[in-house]
Chains A and B, each alone.
Chain A
Amino acid sequence: MQTIETEVLVIGGGATGVGVARDAALRGFATVLVERKDLAEGTTGRYHGLLHSGGRYAVKDPQAARECAAENGVLRRIAADCIEDTGGLFVTTPWDDVEFGDRFLAGCAATGVGVEEIEVGAALVREPALNPDIRRAFLVADASMDAWKLAWACARSAVEHGARVLTYHRVTEVLRNGDAVAGVVTVDVRTGVTLTVRAQVTVNATGAWAGQLAALAGCRPVDVVPGKGIMIAMNHRIVNTVLNRCTMPSDGDIIVPIRTVSVVGTTDSPVTDPDQLEVTQAEVDHMLDEGEKLVPGFRKARALRVWAGARPLFGAKEPGDEKTRDITRAHTLLDHRQRDGLDGFVTITGGKATTFRLMAEETMDLVARMASPGTDRPCRTATLPLPDSEPGAYYAVGSRLAQRERHLLDDQLVCECELVSRRDLTEALDRRPTANIDDIRRALRLGMGPCQGGFCTYRATGILHHQERLDQATANRALLDFLQERWKGLAPILYGDQLRQARLDDWLYQGLLDVEHLPAAAGAP
């Protein structure tokens, strides 16, 4: 079995994990990150896409509001390319208490969240689809943030500073050296090859899986309850500003415009296994009904896809946890030496994507004290821009189109919905060889538009195979896997035009191409 040695080992390739890895690498630590799937395949790639202004927590959770407000400013500086500066509105719909607006304003003022109450008429001019019966409107600095871009930019930066990022490496065992964690054993889930990573400090950044991972380390139970939330992407930009209900946080009260779509969400229900997140009909209907309150006619819009993510909710049932737990209620940093007498092991969980950098900074402050006591290695992530964000320009919704128009004659459009070209695809594959079209989806948004892979699934398979990146059986498998992956998010929302689209895709893949009789399909489960 191969073994590698490092100073800092990070488990989990979500926003938190890549944030910690980048922070560690920038501080000069030898760093390795292991992720059991692709980067941002956990909660980070399934979140609502909102870079919080802090407004949502201004009344309910001032600490979280304060952190969001500060990090919103930081991320706008260092991660501009991942952010679309949509702005956000908090609106009082007929279902909401008008007085709450006053508490909201006071909360924002107390927590440093920038806010301005505007005329209802001005809000309606800005967002014509908004419910005309709203009674108050407040403008905040909400924005939408691309989780995949963010995760990959952090990872790239970490790698540029010497870190190793190992995707598809699942931790199966946590190695102990007496009262200390000495590293982990991973298995490459694609090849079955095992790898040992020995480290001075191991950071458990596995989000909703943090409890499972801590159990492998054999410490006292870390009580993380996965809280399931569903989101539905609607065709088109129904709105161009993030819309929030001005009320206590509840279900289905936010619509976020992301790239080509608008996403409504979300829910919150405790589940036992973060890998089993079923979407029910009732939840879908609930989201559509709530969406209707913010944007009348919402139900008539075309739903493209539904998915669910799992929030890591830290329970703190164990006596003593309150003490060892970091002061903020927004996220949880556990020093297992203090908590369990287990050296070289730290858990960071909870929080928001918006605060990932802060979480990483606090984690690495602790880790730096453990790994190199007495030396001063300050955090640099608050000021150093991520790759592609150096110019400081926000992403704009038309930018892909502008880019496409420059190459109309010399490049092929592989995914019309998301404007992905053959060159984009080839470059993404050169950067990151992969046998998995779903990885490409996350890198490029391939197959995420209205046709949900209707055309590009075949094309991507054909190109990957043509460029000899996939052998025949793997190509066939990749095509079928991607169709299955798309189906998972379609089945619960199939009605209206998306049902029509799905039937067209049935005709294309089964009626025309006969993919169910591909050689690989024979042995399929």
Chain B
Amino acid sequence: MSDDGEIVVVGAGMAGLVAALRLAEAGRRARILAKGFGATHLSGATIDVLGYTPAPVMSPAGALPAFVAEHPDHPYARVGAGVVEEAVGWLKGHLTDPRYVGDLGRNFLLPTAAGVCKPAAVAPQTMAAGDLRGGGPYAIVGLPGLKDFYPSLVAGNLALATTPAGTAVGARAVEVDLSPGGRVDAGPLGYARRFEDPRFRADFAAALQGRLAADEVLGVPAVLGLAGAEQAWEELEARVERPIFEIPTLPPSVPGLRMFTVLMAAARRAGARVVIGAEVVGVETDGYRVRGVWSGTANGRRFYPTAALVLATGGWAAGGLVMDSHRVVREPVLGLPVTGADDGAARFLPGYLDHHPLATAGIAVDRWLRPVDARGAVLYDNVRVAGATLAGAEPWKEKSGDGISVATGYHAAMSVLTEEG
């Protein structure tokens, strides 16, 4: 494998972005080929590392060693707790506008749009003041044109919560009758663009004038601007003279888009190339190595030679794993075996919130994230698998989504780099 050979990263979600950025930063030529955008555009944009085991996790760093021991097939067990911490710390250094705060030592407990306080290790600065430990009292602001956020639902559930220290929480809803151009169905992006305008922010602050109690912390839907969000947030805090925190809405996610924009720009600056709209439809191999990939775009097929391949295709939600109507499961890019989806065995249980057997199905890997077969033999020497395509996790339940993607994307890059010396 030549040192200057290009490395193809399939997927532009968190795992692919992290892998490409890390490779490019290390001086390697990295190219992202992605069918489309990943879950960054939908995500709450906190970096969740470990929230429930299923007991609530107060400190991911503290909980990881036991968790990894109990879940030997979990992606965290493959990369090791140390790498998780290192990778998240590295990522935090790249996240600007807004900056991210927190670490694996302690989870924030941040209100969701349903009013549940969800554990997250690292979060945008614009969300941190929502931490339940502060105990509120919260004033949750709703915007009538925004159907993806219900302040009374948030406040009502917050008022039923208690802080970890056991104190009661005060919360109420406040409606601010401002909509972009009078539109009643504006959506998070419509509001975000308006919040970039200082005059709109001034109107917003004015509308709250005299309606808040002195000690109330202000929760707002996460729509405080796409670009320049940190500045918008700081300015608003100054205007309303109290801490403000954002709460992620239903998608499209404004904070997710910010995170994507920042990481994509960093990757490009570091020299990574990015092709969005290029589905990888096949590979050329010589035995145990992938020589290159075929992409299919509107312009036809194109071949990209590659020294190594990082597969970050996002699992079932993104088409990284598929099942046909005969219930045959497949990893479409390399045809890798999918573990945990045994034929004949029950794949789903009756309760929606149950632990469904299919949930942890995915690609099995070794500790270098190379795909392995049922006996543990490596299938391709120069392939690494990262993110939600990996077997062994139930990240939406564990609250470990981006934690896994960041740790494995980072580790995949490091593993490619080390192997190549």
Enumerate chain A interface residues (CB-CB to B < 8 A): 281, 285, 288, 299-300, 303, 408-414, 422, 455, 458-459, 461-463, 465-466, 472, 475-476, 479-480, 483-484, 486-488, 491, 494-496, 499-500, 503-504, 506-508, 510-519, 521
Contacts and interface: CB of A to CB of B under 8 A. Distances in A.
Residue from A299, A463, A479, A507 whose CB has the most chain B CB atoms within 10 Å = A507
Counting contact residues on chain B (CB < 8 A from A), the size range is 35 or more
A465 B352 contact: no
B157 A519 contact: yes
B153 A412 contact: no
Contacts of A515: 114, 116
Nearest to B115: A518
B323 A514 contact: no
Nearest to B353: A516
B250 interface: yes
A232 to B, nearest CB: 11
A20 B116 CA distance: 47
A351 to B, nearest CB: 32
A511 B325 contact: no
Interface in B179-224: 183-185
Contact of A412 (B118, B185, B315, B323): B185
B317 A503 contact: yes
A413 B113 contact: no
B116 A507 contact: no
Contacts of B316: 499-500, 503
B396 interface: yes
* Those 9 A-B pairs whose CB atoms lie nearest each other, nearest first: A462-B150, A511-B396, A487-B352, A472-B156, A503-B317, A513-B114, A514-B116, A510-B396, A299-B325
B399 A412 contact: no
Given A512-B248, A514-B116, A514-B118, A303 B323 contact: no
A146 to B, nearest CB: 26
A511 B399 contact: yes
Nearest to B161: A519
Nearest to B114: A513
Interface of B: 39, 42-44, 48, 112-116, 118, 142, 145, 147-150, 152-153, 156-157, 159-161, 183-185, 248, 250-251, 315-319, 322-327, 347-353, 359, 395-397, 399, 401
Contact of B147 (A412, A472, A487): A412
Given A411-B185, A412-B184, A466-B152, A514 B399 contact: yes
A463 B150 contact: yes
21 contacts: A299-B325, A458-B113, A459-B148, A462-B152, A465-B153, A466-B150, A479-B114, A480-B352, A491-B349, A494-B347, A494-B348, A495-B325, A496-B323, A504-B317, A511-B48, A512-B248, A513-B113, A514-B116, A516-B353, A518-B116, A521-B353
Contacts of A414: 147
B116 A483 contact: no
A491 B319 CA distance: 19
B322 A507 contact: no
Contacts of B39: 507
A507 B396 contact: yes
Given A288-B325, A513-B113, A513-B116, A500 B319 contact: yes
A484 B315 CA distance: 23
A383 B149 CA distance: 48
B147 A459 contact: yes
A465 B150 contact: yes
Given A414-B147, A499-B316, A514 B156 contact: no
Contact of A495 (B114, B156, B319, B323): B323
Contacts of A300: 325
A513 B156 contact: no
B396 A506 contact: yes
Residue from A488, A494, A521 whose CB has the most chain B CB atoms within 10 Å = A494
A507 B317 contact: yes
B401 A507 contact: yes
Residue from A500, A507, A517 whose CB has the most chain B CB atoms within 10 Å = A517
Nearest to B144: A412
Contacts of B318: 500
A502 B249 CA distance: 19
A266 to B, nearest CB: 18
B231 to A, nearest CB: 26
B183 A409 contact: yes
Contact of A465 (B113, B156, B159): B156
A337 to B, nearest CB: 44
Residue from B153, B156, B397 whose CB has the most chain A CB atoms within 10 Å = B153
A512 B112 contact: yes
Contacts of A518: 114-116, 157
A510 B356 CA distance: 14
Contacts of A479: 114
Contact of B250 (A299, A483, A508): A508
Contacts of B401: 507, 511
A484 B153 contact: no
Given A491-B348, A499-B316, A516-B353, A465 B152 contact: yes
A410 B179 CA distance: 12
A508 B317 CA distance: 11
Contacts of A413: 147, 185
Contacts of A512: 42-44, 112-113, 248, 250
Contacts of A486: 352
A519 B160 contact: yes
Nearest to A421: B185
A394 B62 CA distance: 65
A500 B352 contact: no
B14 to A, nearest CB: 12
A511 to B, nearest CB: 4
Nearest to B54: A516
A496 B114 contact: no
Contacts of A465: 150, 152-153, 156
A285 B161 CA distance: 46
B322 to A, nearest CB: 7
A508 B112 CA distance: 11
B323 A499 contact: yes
A496 B184 contact: no
Nearest to B317: A503
Given A409-B184, A510-B397, A516-B397, A495 B327 contact: yes
A452 to B, nearest CB: 11
Nearest to A501: B317
A461 B153 CA distance: 8
Nearest to B173: A466
B184 A411 contact: yes
A491 B325 contact: no
A426 to B, nearest CB: 13
Contacts of B325: 288, 299-300, 303, 495-496
A149 to B, nearest CB: 25
A224 to B, nearest CB: 27
A494 B142 CA distance: 36
A458 B250 contact: yes
Contact of A472 (B145, B157, B348): B157
Contacts of A503: 315-317
A275 to B, nearest CB: 15
A403 to B, nearest CB: 15
